[in-house]
């Protein structure tokens, strides 16, 4: 490791990141879909602008506070791919819209639509909404068999002039737990059929969708094959992580974000690094992977320390690269990341949209 980076540090490799961005854009272009990357993975305006420059139509944000940061950075087509309830947050959405931004938001209940309508009326403006469909994850989204909720959503959309129906979205996080590609494809197909059923029901009621926005990194290539899907919203692909490698979605060489640490203590059977789980997450009980010294494994972690075992053990001050199982929560732990290219430090990037509350 030639670079002189103070440890611990979150490091982003520019060359690999831009390759990831271009490859996902190429997949979307090839299948004639719009790409709207989920910016909750990186939370960095500079990277969102790289994604837009390569052809993305806008971005997704998961929280109003994230949308605000990206809008201020000049990205003005943002889908908040999450249900938003609560006056303060909805006011913020309309303030952003009144500034000329195109902010759309997910809804899955007539209550959500009513809140948007009540505040939208005050602002004399409208917000575009995508009806969130539960495509099998059993998180947010209206269920295809829940006729009562579907009827109420249709009625309230028709009676809410400040809420404009634009289409549907669906997020299939459950398919990220299906290793077998054939089974993952079947789960995606099932979710697609649910979207189509709801889409047909809305069409009968005179509500026609312009946008059907779906998917994450492990399923993007599967959704890309579906005719009535026109937008993909993967996020993790910008950096990838060990989970994506395990799923067979990518290889380890595509992983473009890592935590750099150094050895601060040694014993006969172990070394100790200067970063713990306050700098790199343990996900579902799975420790980070050591990539710079592949023969080493994490033995234990505490807040500011990681203990490694294996042989040969690295020396004092030797730099060690760690990759998390799931990259998104690790990025959110840091205020800034060091951007490097070809083993040279380029700049530091503020993780501007992290840690906000709204």
Closest approach, Cβ 272 to ligand PLP, in A, equals: 32
The DSSP secondary structure of 56-79, one letter per residue, reads ---EEESSHHHHHHHHHTT--EEE
Residues that bind ligand PLP (CB under 6 A): 38, 41, 60, 81, 171, 173, 176, 216-218, 233-237
Is the bond preceding residue 161 a cis peptide, omega within 30 degrees? Answer: no
Closest approach, Cβ 231 to ligand PLP, in A, equals: 11
Which CB, 290 or 353, lies closer to ligand PLP? 353
Which CB, 221 or 306, lies closer to ligand PLP? 221
- Alpha carbon 43 to chain centroid, angstroms: 9
Closest approach, Cβ 275 to ligand PLP, in A, equals: 23
C-alpha span between 104 and 125 (Å, rounded): 13
Closest approach, Cβ 139 to ligand PLP, in A, equals: 8
Which CB, 64 or 263, lies closer to ligand PLP? 64
Which CB, 41 or 51, lies closer to ligand PLP? 41
**Is the sign of the CA dihedral 236, 14, 77, 207 positive or negative?**
negative
Closest approach, Cβ 233 to ligand PLP, in A, equals: 4
Q: Residue 284 burial (CB < 10 Å; 0-12/13-18/19+)? A: exposed
Closest approach, Cβ 20 to ligand PLP, in A, equals: 11
Which CB, 244 or 306, lies closer to ligand PLP? 244
Residue number of the CB closest to ligand PLP reads 216
Helix 110-123 / helix 147-158 crossing angle, nearest 10 deg: 10
- Alpha carbon 346 to chain centroid, angstroms: 25
Q: Who contacts 126 (Cβ-Cβ below 8 Å, separation ≥6)?
A: 97, 120, 161, 162, 163, 164
Which CB, 60 or 322, lies closer to ligand PLP? 60
């Amino acid at each position: 490791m030639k670079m002189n980076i103070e440890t611990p540090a979150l490091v982003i490799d520019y060359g690999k990141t831009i390759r990831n961005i271009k490859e996902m854009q190429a997949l979307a272009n090839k299948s004639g879909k719009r790409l709207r990357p989920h910016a909750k993975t990186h939370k960095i305006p500079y990277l969102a602008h790289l994604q837009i420059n390569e052809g993305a139509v806008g971005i997704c944000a998961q929280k109003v506070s994230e949308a605000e940061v990206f809008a201020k950075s000049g990205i003005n087509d943002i889908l908040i791919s999450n249900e938003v309830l609560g006056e303060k947050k909805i006011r913020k959405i309309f303030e952003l819209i009144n500034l000329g931004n195109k902010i759309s938001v997910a809804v899955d209940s007539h209550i959500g639509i009513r809140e948007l309508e009540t505040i939208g009326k005050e602002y004399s403006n409208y917000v575009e909404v995508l009806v969130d469909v539960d495509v099998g994850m059993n998180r947010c989204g209206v269920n295809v068999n829940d006729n009562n909720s579907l009827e109420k959503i249709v009625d309230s959309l028709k009676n809410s002039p400040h809420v404009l129906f634009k289409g549907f979205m669906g997020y299939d996080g459950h398919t990220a737990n299906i290793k077998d590609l054939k089974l993952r494809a079947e789960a995606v197909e099932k979710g697609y059929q649910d979207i189509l059923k709801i889409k047909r029901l809305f069409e009968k009621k005179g509500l026609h969708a312009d946008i059907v926005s779906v998917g994450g990194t492990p399923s993007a290539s599967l959704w890309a094959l579906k005719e009535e899907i026109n937008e993909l919203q993967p996020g993790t692909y910008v950096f990838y992580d060990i989970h994506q490698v395990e799923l067979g979605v990518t290889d380890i060489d595509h992983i473009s974000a890592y935590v750099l640490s150094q050895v601060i203590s040694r014993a006969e059977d172990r070394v100790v690094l200067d970063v713990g789980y306050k700098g790199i997450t343990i996900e579902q009980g799975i420790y980070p992977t050591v990539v710079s010294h592949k023969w080493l494994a994490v033995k234990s972690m505490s807040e500011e320390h990681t203990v490694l075992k294996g042989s040969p053990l690295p020396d004092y001050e030797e730099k060690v690269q760690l990759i998390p199982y799931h990259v998104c929560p690790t990025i959110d732990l840091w205020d800034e990341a060091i951007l490097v290219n070809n083993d040279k430090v380029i700049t530091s990037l503020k993780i501007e949209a992290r840690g906000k509350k709204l």
